[in-house]
Chains A and B, each alone.
Chain A
């Protein structure tokens, strides 16, 4: 479904991502591990079109279409939606307005209303806050809104960037359950996590990024047993 072939992303002379390849099939749940600055967010932004990957610096395919160079909106309309790091909500818009932005590209009024109902069933806490400005929400609620906003686009694939960042263990647990639920409903997931344990517990396949390069990949059950992974990311 999603295929990255040898992509490079450079900021000036420094390469943030080098010769990176990755493949995600429909229905997969993939996690990307890596330290701060390993290039995880850059990779997601390259997929979403926020960072442009030049024609001679690799290829990105989604559902058979070559999407590098496309505008973020056009990529989103194909069904890949990113839930960005740090939530990036619209602070002065209400919860409801934030959700509506998620459905900005859609024209089916009924479908939008249905997605809104589904999102509020998944995150009941948002129901009472529909008219509150998003900056008034707690950190956990903001993360839920960020995910709900993404679901409003009716994505086929969701790219989640550090959703657990700054959340309490309890909320993190709730979030993990919700992410599993979203996957069960048929959305293909790519989860970037600094909390490696969480990522490996949830996903079925994992990649390890180091200094912009893929250093390791495999089933998460194998990665959990891998000594290098244990030492570097699980603190064992």
Chain B
């Protein structure tokens, strides 16, 4: 049994992978494409919160919302001016892949590639006897709970949520009843990108910030989606949870080979369940 601190660390990672994966699957379910540059929106979210708290003196929670809002706007622009102008899933995929380097390059130019650190906003530790958990990490966990509850509410109890689920399941019939896939695409792109940015923002005080911090969360989110079952929102959440723990626990025991073991395990899961844990089996 690894020490409790490792499990807390795993849970914190899980929260981020979940939020990222959830946004990606939401976009995928309506647009039918994976937005490969999701990790860079995470990175930009971290920079927005860094500068808004250090340079502009904006309170941290407002900074997180600001990051979400700005990147929702960027996401909508990416949809309108890049994704909409290219035909074919493969080419759209390549375009969003190219955006990884464009955004990282732009961030390096603007902010340099040096590591930056945001001071801990919520100092202190909650001691639960068996385990101590820092307030900053608790903030990540509570933030994720709030986001997931809010998303659950939006998807299941609002008209927009009903429309999103309808289009994801049966786009032609949805359009027959007047649901505009076009408008919903912009909405989910905005939500998905905002989630990525806010995940980056809430994590900013815990890790160094540089233009390349989006890569690992993006790959982990992608793996979470694959083991959860592509297209399943529940799968994205469970996949993210599993990966966060696996990543931290494996790294604790075998630091050098941890990635190799992690990917080996994922391949094993996919060999047993090729459709992922929550994916519909291909009959």
Contacts and interface: CB of A to CB of B under 8 A. Distances in A.
Given A73-B179, A153-B177, A84 B165 contact: no
A104 B178 contact: yes
A88 B169 CA distance: 9
B166 A101 contact: yes
A48 to B, nearest CB: 6
A89 B173 contact: yes
B1 interface: no
Contacts of B178: 72-74, 76-77, 104-105, 153
A89 B173 CA distance: 7
B176 interface: yes
A84 B172 contact: yes
Contacts of A97: 162, 165-166
A92 B169 CA distance: 7
Interface string A63-98: 000000001111011000110100011111100010
B216 interface: no
A45 to B, nearest CB: 9
A81 B176 contact: yes
B113 interface: no
Nearest to B175: A72
A82 B159 CA distance: 22
B180 interface: yes
Contacts of A48: 176
A102 to B, nearest CB: 6
Contact of B166 (A50, A72, A90, A153): A90
Interface residues of A, number: 25
Contacts of A77: 178
A17 B162 CA distance: 35
A60 to B, nearest CB: 16
B33 interface: no
B175 to A, nearest CB: 4
A77 B179 CA distance: 11
B113 to A, nearest CB: 45
Interface string B80-113: 0000000000000000000000000000000000
B147 to A, nearest CB: 22
A200 B177 CA distance: 28
Interface in A103-120: 104-105
B169 A84 contact: no
Contacts of A72: 175-176, 178
Contacts of A91: 169-170
Closest 5 CB pairs of A and B: A73-B178, A88-B173, A105-B178, A72-B175, A90-B169
Given A76-B178, A92-B165, A93-B169, 10 more contacts: A73-B177, A74-B178, A82-B176, A84-B172, A88-B170, A88-B172, A88-B173, A97-B165, A101-B177, A104-B177
Interface of A: 48, 50, 71-74, 76-77, 81-82, 84, 88-93, 97, 100-102, 104-105, 149, 153
Interface of B: 159, 162-163, 165-166, 169-170, 172-180
